[in-house]
A = this chain, B = another copy of it.
């Protein structure tokens, strides 16, 4: 090998080495460069989820519950404003990017401070021979608290109607029909008395007005507000005889502030005159406890009601009208002086800005205002939100930032008709419509000690199961297993599938405007009673002065582990919705549910088989639309498995499809006569705001069949509603198909 050769070899080596370094450099450069702005991979995100869940502490929730229930904080009062400022300051301290107080001026309603509301029995001289109590006996330890608002029906008309009493059971549509048709009782000019329970109180009031009543008294019957074998508060969690349920008696159907329907109640906003306000009852309404109720009911005359109209008072229930025997000349008089007034309320809105898609919003919202102390409603919810904010803030301080923007909301004036949340939704309707990914509601976190209760849109089912599998069960008898497992054992979704039961959303809390008006995927979570054995309405002391910190600490959740589990469920949902690269929404679950609902509404129609033939009513178009949707959802999820996750535009496009799926079920024309209830798949029926119905338009039209004097016209409306539902499901299917 000569010099020449050796030089060549050397040169060659040089070349090889240099090329190798170049290539090395090139490759390192090529791969080092990020191809997209990606926050956390989903694996990293999962680690942060664990941290987020583990950071939350039962004891913190307890402290927050203690702190936020010391004083009454009714909407529109100085105390509730102070609480808003306190929460804002703490959320800022916890680490949120921004926290704002957002005020609105809405119509609220308070008792007259100098002329108390009460109900009398008056003799034929007009003298009051019996008066109901002016307030509830205050629980021990709270004797020195001022500003406890006495039980009243918010937005009641003023007035002093006098007349014979008619007992109308729960005051449901069917109760009034039974009264009129089977018992031949005409309520015109009467004062009706209805027991609380089964349906939203505002629906009872509406029914009473339709029946011609001049006033309505609402009472808590022990049959509905005392669990067997449980003592009354403070010795147990049953409602004492002197306790009564406050509450608004509006029929807003989602309008928010009665004076500014459709628009936020800002300073410049045009306000209807109060006589044209939405949903305000035209008659006096007043709530009483069962001790007072017994006195009003015990001397009633008239028919003996059927057994399922009888409660557990130690009297013989009678329908009336009026009193019996020596009491026939006595009348009942209501004395109601409650005032409506436009009042400033305050939402607290906190944000964590999204790292990758700041224009996508995931919302955790719950109300802050309480009728009195809010021991359960809403502070179990507000305390849970507070702890979620603290935990999220801690992650932010450590450098984490979710993919999407998270919004935390402390709503005001929920008790007066979901006013704070609805006004904010109206104020931000354009942003929410274009950018709202999901809304998780955070009202009362507990109403029983048995197991988890979830009401949510079908596309959240899979995420709920996923999240609850990552949370430990708080049930003492189920230590060491997941929440999912204990929930599954206690409340299996029998019939449909072997999984924990999930319910439909109704209304009655702040998700309403977000879900039913705007079509944002929504859900709620709380601990609940055993629906198979516990038959009382709500929880017994609901909306009474006995909703205290001690009620929760002694009876509902002494360890605060159930509230912690609820915090982890709500928080876990928000976290995953905000941080997953692909939205954790399951369109196949929506298809599954639509299938079930369409079969169920078809079944409901089968009791009119003759009419179905006679009026040529067919559900085929609906079934066909559901089949079409089912195929579109399946194909969509199939395509998802082949998605290029490194292509940010492709990810954004499929996420948009998932986000807008819920929106596609919104009909801009709304349900008949209810312009703010626009979700064609889920809304309360017109007969009970609390219960969510599927295909509410069809449901309500069918409900009317039995009461209509023109069945041909009534069946035409059913057919129209079937057509609207079929179109809506078809339209939703198009949103899941390839874009062009």
Contact = CB atoms under 8 A, between A and B. Distances in A.
A264 interface: yes
A530 interface: no
A262 interface: yes
A660 B739 contact: no
A740 interface: yes
Nearest to A719: B270
Please state the number of chain copies in the assembly. 2
B270 A724 contact: yes
Contacts of A482: none
A interface majority secondary structure = helix
Contact of A32 (B24, B30, B656, B657): B30
A359 B18 contact: no
Contact of A356 (B263, B649, B731): B649
Interface in A90-113: 97
A649 B357 contact: yes
A434 B664 CA distance: 10
A263 B724 contact: yes
A354 interface: yes
A664 B740 contact: no
Interface string A425-450: 00111110011000000000000000
Interface string A127-165: 000000000000000000000000000000000000000
25 contacts: A21-B22, A22-B22, A22-B25, A26-B26, A26-B28, A33-B33, A37-B647, A97-B740, A262-B668, A263-B727, A264-B727, A266-B727, A269-B727, A270-B720, A270-B724, A358-B653, A358-B739, A359-B740, A405-B739, A429-B668, A431-B735, A434-B656, A648-B649, A652-B652, A668-B678
Given A25-B26, A30-B29, A739-B358, A430 B731 contact: yes
A89 to B, nearest CB: 21
A303 B734 CA distance: 61
Contacts of A17: 18
Contacts of A719: 270
A263 B723 contact: yes
Contacts of A405: 739-740
A360 B731 CA distance: 17
A130 B668 CA distance: 52
A723 B668 contact: no
Interface in A667-693: 667-669, 675, 678
A740 B26 contact: no
Interface string A497-540: 00000000000000000000000000000000000000000000
A32 B28 CA distance: 12
A663 interface: yes
B30 A354 contact: no
A454 interface: no
B740 A430 contact: no
Contacts of A723: 263, 268-270
A314 to B, nearest CB: 52
A657 B361 CA distance: 15
